[in-house]
Structure 1
């Protein structure tokens, strides 16, 4: 009878009885079974993979960290956006920011151009016998529009300019200057905050593209990599992991979110491998490789911290679905020491690369049962 043998030096299992992979506890043992050598994850044919991919649902959190949750049937939805205009401007896309910038400036130029046009009429600029004009060198609406633009942008008057003959002209100048300061200040602040906040590409650079399930120290672990090359979350770094089961059994059932425990991690001076031990409290406790491929779930990784340069607090998110998890792989080492320059070198190309690793093709629950049977036989 073949038994499961664990080599502590190589950190791997060598051989196991084939029928031990069955999760049925009532199945009879077959001593004539041929042992299966545990090497690497079996490749899935393309047509099988496509059918499994169609079975999955859309992500709650995209790879770039964008939230895929929207509100519906919200009363006065447009009014809500207007009331919270600050967050609305910060949350909309860049094309709408630029569109808002153009529209607001054009409306201000045109509105104050009409006001200057009205002041010029009331001041008698269009009277044939008038020699003291309110606005010099303009009698058209286009000219007053350009005068308004010159006043708001403070580029200085040139060919056309107002004089002291304008009725309430001084009040118009004060209103334009104050309004231009307010409008430009708000728009510049919005643009600055959107530039300095974490952009969508940051999450893809911080987290590894794939996650792996491999065995370490005799335990199955869910592992992904994280780095902070730009030092955006270097200070007070907090990393959390959540499991969301998308298998709804009953109609109108809510999704369950389970927080997954992770092993203590160090400083982000090097790329770190964040580990989750698959034990009795883990939502992956009874998952086999086939369950990983066929089940609909999502594992969300969240990294929070403050920048070492600006001190700004930021949060980066990403998600791993069943297509992003490699069973029987581990990450390649990416940190080396350069003896010529006396410094540590991080190979970024290897940051996301994985390699096959000897891993049992059974769930962590079944692996514990196999160990228990082996210990009893000894």
Structure 2
């Protein structure tokens, strides 16, 4: 019992340390903060107020939505109260019986606020109505109607833009929790699986990666975030992917690859982060979006391969079995990229590095007869 709890605590602490050291979280969020920004630079966010409103959290959008309408109703309520006071319409002013008010039944601050609300929302209950006696009241009615229409358009636009943000479409594109290294088509490859959970396509999809690591230059300079390009491809190429079903992306580990110098016993001792990007255009909305995730050395399994998940039924329909999306099987793999290219038959079966319980490792003797993808 205590051993189980201790393991859970250690796993939780390790996960927290992993999150702190990541630049890009598994869900694509960037772990970065800006400091020592000059105070004058903050006005740039106010100048680009539309982007600021679209990007802020929903709780603040709802707050500004409620505050903008309520505040405008109250301010115009005070103006209507001021007009009624100047005309002697209020109850405490004891207007004569033959007195003609600027606005019927506006006799106090509460009724002035109600009239302001009814005017801006075009409710018009009929209990309060404007009379043609006061030109200032007519002008105020026009101003409030125009300002109310502007507030309506702006807030509706912000809410609609937030609902239709392209990053929401990215939520339905998922990557495998771990990457694997194994032979493929005569080459040693690092493979990642990605799936589109919607039936609508991502048009013009492109996949690429960045390897982030700390690098020391010959001049003694330390580069905290040195970026190295990582090329990914599928069997049909690397541009304009036909993203109708889950794809297995792979990076060839050759002499030009930064993974060439790594081996099965040194991989998890390295300090780097592999960030994978997928850019595309949603077919239904024509909006561009980017999906990203990252892998640290502990999330790369050497000597494993993904199970196939695409098959064809007797009726001729193609079927995707997502139960195998995160399952792998050990395969004979060289201990290092140099061994793979120079020492034939130098292979092993590894079981290191699969501490993620959601990434299931299974042993199979006869793989199912399915179409690999």
Scaled to the shorter chain, the TM-score interval is 0.7 to 0.9
The one of 229, 232, 256 equivalent to 1:259 is 229
Mapped partners of 2:33, 2:210: distance in 1? 20
> Does residue 1:245 correspond to 2:213, yes or no?
yes
Mapped partners of 1:294, 1:52: distance in 2? 15
CA drift of 1:217 comes to: 2.6
> Does residue 1:149 correspond to 2:117, yes or no?
yes
The aligned runs of 1:222-371 (5 Å cut-off) are 222-230=190-198, 234-246=202-214, 253-263=223-233, 264-265=237-238, 266-340=241-315, 342-351=316-325, 353-360=326-333, 362-371=335-344
Q: Over residues 41-84 of structure 1, what are the superposed CA-to-partner deviations in whole Å (9 max), with x where a residue is unaligned?
A: xxxx9999789767755221222222222221111243222122
Give yes or no for contact 1:240–1:262 (8 Å, CA) kept in 2.
yes
Give yes or no for contact 2:190–2:253 (8 Å, CA) kept in 1.
yes
SS at match of 1:317: strand
Q: Paired residue for 1:42?
A: none
Mapped partners of 2:288, 2:180: distance in 1? 29
CA drift of 1:354 comes to: 2.0
> Does residue 1:118 correspond to 2:88, yes or no?
no
CA drift of 1:247 comes to: 6.3
Mapped partners of 1:310, 1:148: distance in 2? 39
Give yes or no for contact 1:246–1:255 (8 Å, CA) kept in 2.
yes
CA drift of 1:85 comes to: 1.0
Give yes or no for contact 2:190–2:250 (8 Å, CA) kept in 1.
yes
Q: Over residues 78-122 of structure 1, what are the superposed CA-to-partner deviations in whole Å (9 max), with x where a residue is unaligned?
A: 322212211111211111111111111121111111111111112
Q: Paired residue for 1:72?
A: 35
Mapped partners of 1:291, 1:84: distance in 2? 48
Query: Unpaired segments of 5 or more residues in structure 2?
Result: 1-6, 348-373
The aligned runs of 1:32-47 (5 Å cut-off) are none
CA drift of 1:144 comes to: 1.6
| TM-score scaled by length of structure 2 | 0.79
Paired residues, what number?
Answer: 328
The one of 93, 100, 110 equivalent to 2:57 is 93
Give yes or no for contact 1:248–1:255 (8 Å, CA) kept in 2.
no
Give yes or no for contact 1:204–1:318 (8 Å, CA) kept in 2.
no
CA drift of 1:213 comes to: 1.5
Distance 1:101 1:49, change over 3 A: closer
Mapped partners of 1:229, 1:242: distance in 2? 25
| TM-score scaled by length of structure 1 | 0.78
RMSD of Structure 2 on Structure 1 (CA): 2.9
Q: Over residues 116-159 of structure 1, what are the superposed CA-to-partner deviations in whole Å (9 max), with x where a residue is unaligned?
A: 11111122212423421122223222222222122222222333
Give yes or no for contact 1:212–1:224 (8 Å, CA) kept in 2.
yes
Give yes or no for contact 1:338–1:345 (8 Å, CA) kept in 2.
yes
Q: Over residues 325-347 of structure 1, what are the superposed CA-to-partner deviations in whole Å (9 max), with x where a residue is unaligned?
A: 2222222211121224x321112
CA drift of 1:251 comes to: 7.6
Query: Unpaired segments of 5 or more residues in structure 1?
Result: 1-44
Mapped partners of 1:338, 1:297: distance in 2? 42
CA drift of 1:246 comes to: 4.2
SS at match of 2:266: helix
The one of 167, 170, 178 equivalent to 1:210 is 178
Q: Over residues 193-226 of structure 1, what are the superposed CA-to-partner deviations in whole Å (9 max), with x where a residue is unaligned?
A: 1111134683474322222112213322111112
Give yes or no for contact 1:231–1:307 (8 Å, CA) kept in 2.
no
Mapped partners of 2:177, 2:339: distance in 1? 29
